Chain A
Amino acid sequence: MTDLAWIEAALTAARPQAVAALLRYFRDLDIAEEAFQEASLRALKNWPRNGPPRDPAAWLIFVGRNAAIDAVRRDSRQQELPPEEKISDLDDVETRVVERLDNSDYRDDVLRLLFVCCHPELPATQQIALALRIVSGLTVPQIARAFLVGESAMEQRITRAKARIAKAGIPFGTPGAVERAERLAAVAAMIYLVFNEGYSAEADSADRRRSLCDEAIRLSRLLLRLFPAEPEIMGLTALLLLQHARADARFDANGAAILLDEQDRTLWNRAMIAEGLALVDKAMRHHRPGVYQIQAAIAALHARAARPEETDWAEINLLYRALEQLQPSPVVTLNRAVAVAKAEGPEAALDLIEPLAERLFGYFYFFGVKGNLLMQLGRNGEAKAAFDRAISLARTPAEAAHIRMHLDRLARDSAPRQGASGIV
C-alpha cells in the first residue's frame, strides 16, 4: 500500500465523524459535504509532507470548518447574506474540536448523520443511496454501479432525497433516551437494508454489490463503537458478519445460487465468523433479546456446524420461535418450518405451514418449501402442484431454475426422497 492509499483509508474512516460534526456547525448537508471535500483535498496535499495528524478526524473538522466559513463569508459578501444564518455555535468550535470528539455528545452527531438518511418519508432505495453517498462517501458512479442504474438517474435519486430531507428539517436538538433508542433502531434498520441490497444480488452482479455488504458492516461497526453496550447493535454486526462470511460459497462457477446445505464450508470466511460468534456471545450476556440478536444466533448455529448434519436444528427451531414472538410474521414461521422439518420431520413442518397458505398465497418461497416437504413425504402429485405454483411466482431465472430441478427429480423418480434440502 502506498502512503496515498493509507491517506484515502484514513479519510474514509474519519468521514462519518467529520461530516457529522460539520453538519452540526453548518446545519446544511451540502455545506458539510463540501467542507469535508475541501479538507480532504488539503489533507492529500498536507499529510504526505507533514506526516499524518494524531487525530485525522479532528484535523479534518478543523480545516473543513475554516474552509467552509471562508467560503460562506465570500458568498455572503457577494450575495449580502448575514453569515450567522449559515454558521451555528461559531465561538465554541475553535478551541473545543478535539474535546468534542472525545465527548459523548459526539456520538449523537454521528447518530444524527446516519438518522438523517433514514427519514421515514424516504423510500428504502433512497435511504440506502443517501447513506452510501453521505456517510460512506461512495461516489455517485460507484453507487450507480452497485444499484445497476445510470449515473444521472442515481444523481437525481440522491438530489431528490436531499431535497426531501431539507424540507423535513434535520433534528438538531440533543435526543433524549427514548428518542436516541428510536434513532438507533431506525439506523440499524437502514444499515440492514444496505446489507440486503448487496446480499440479495444475483451472481452476475454479486461482485459489484459485495462492496455494499462491506460498507454495511463498516457502518454497523461504527455504530457499535459509538454504542458499545447495545446488544442489538452487537447482534446486527454479528448477523452481517456471519452472513457475509458465506459470500465466497454462495454461487457456483455458472452463477447459480448454492443452498446453505450444499455450500463448501471451507470457503466460509473464518475471521468474519470468529468476530460474529464473539459478538453473539457478548450480546447474550445482556439478556435483552432482540430480532438482530436472534437472527445472529441462528446464523451462528449454522456457522458453528462444520458439516450440515451437525447443525443444531432443534435450537434453531427454538430461536425462530422466539423471533416469532418478538416479530410475528408468516415468513418467520415459514423459516421455522424448515428447522422443524429437519428436527422433527416433514409432517410436523407441513402442519406448521398449512395455516399460512392464505397469507403467503403469492410468496415464492412458501410454495418452494411446501413442495419440498410434500416431496419428502412421497406425496408427489401435491408436490408437483406446489412447485408449479412456485415457478409461476419466481422473480428471477435462478429461482425458477432451482424449482425446475425439483420438478425434474419428481418426474424421474416418484419414490420418496430422504433429506431433501429446504430453502434456507
Chain B
Amino acid sequence: MLYAILCYSDENVVGSWTKEEDDACLARLKVVQDKVAAEGRMGPVARLVPTTAATTLRKGGEEPLVIDGPFAETKEQLLGFYTIDCRSLDEAIDFARDLATANPAPGSYEIRPVRLFRPGARPT
C-alpha cells in the first residue's frame, strides 16, 4: 500500500531556524529517507515554499474565487509530504516516528493511504 505522509508544523517556527539548523535537520531526515529508498519503497518527496507564497482557488458561486494565501488560517501548515510504499500501517507509522525523531519541531504527520498515484514524467 502506498501512503502519503503529510507533514504539518508551524512554518513560523521552522522559518526561524538558522541555515545551519535547517541544513542539519534536512541531513537527519535524509538518513531516514535513504533507509527506505534503499529498499526501493520511496516515492516522490516535496518540501513546500511557505504559505505566504500560496494562492487558493476557492470553488463556489459562478466564478471560483482566487485568494492570496491558504484558505484556512491555522496554527500549523502543510510544509511538505512523502510518499512511501508500506506493507502495513505500522510500517508507515514507524517511518513517521523516525521522521519525528529526526525533526524536533512540534507538529504532526498525517498518514494517508494513497488511492490514485501517477508519478508523472517530469525530469527532476
Contact = CB atoms under 8 A, between A and B. Distances in A.
Nearest to A12: B16
A13 to B, nearest CB: 4
A278 interface: yes
A181 interface: no
Interface stretch (B33-41, B63-71, B111-119): B63-71
Contacts, number: 72
Contact of A13 (B16, B19, B69): B16
A282 B68 contact: yes
Contacts of B91: none
Contacts of B104: 1-3, 5-6
Contact of A218 (B16, B21, B51, B66): B16
Interface string B47-61: 001111101000000
A309 B78 CA distance: 38
A1 B25 contact: yes
A153 interface: no
Contacts of A1: 17, 21, 24-25, 104
A275 B50 contact: yes
Interface stretch (A196-204, A222-230, A291-299, A357-365): A222-230
Instruction: Determine which residue in B13, B24, B52 has the highest number of CB atoms from chain A within 10 A of its CB, and name it.
Output: B52
A9 B52 contact: no
A5 B21 contact: yes
A262 interface: no
A9 B50 contact: no
A144 interface: no
Contact of B12 (A225, A271, A278): A225
A49 to B, nearest CB: 15
Interface residues of A, number: 32
Given A6-B104, A9-B13, A55-B75, A221 B25 contact: no
B47 to A, nearest CB: 9
B68 A13 contact: no
Contacts of B67: 229
B105 interface: yes
Interface string B23-46: 011000000000000000000000
Given A3-B104, A9-B13, A218-B15, A285 B50 contact: no
B73 interface: yes
Nearest to B14: A9
B123 to A, nearest CB: 15
Given A52-B106, A55-B75, A275 B13 contact: no
Contact of B52 (A52, A214, A225): A225
B98 interface: no
B73 A279 contact: no
B17 A224 contact: no
A424 B77 CA distance: 38
A274 interface: yes
Contacts of A127: none
B57 to A, nearest CB: 12
Interface string A1-21: 111011001101110000000
A29 B26 CA distance: 38
A285 B12 CA distance: 25
Contact of A221 (B15, B18, B24, B75): B15
B10 interface: yes
B50 to A, nearest CB: 7
Given A6-B104, A10-B106, 6 more contacts: A1-B21, A13-B15, A13-B16, A56-B13, A102-B73, A282-B68
6 contacts: A9-B17, A10-B13, A13-B16, A225-B69, A234-B68, A282-B55
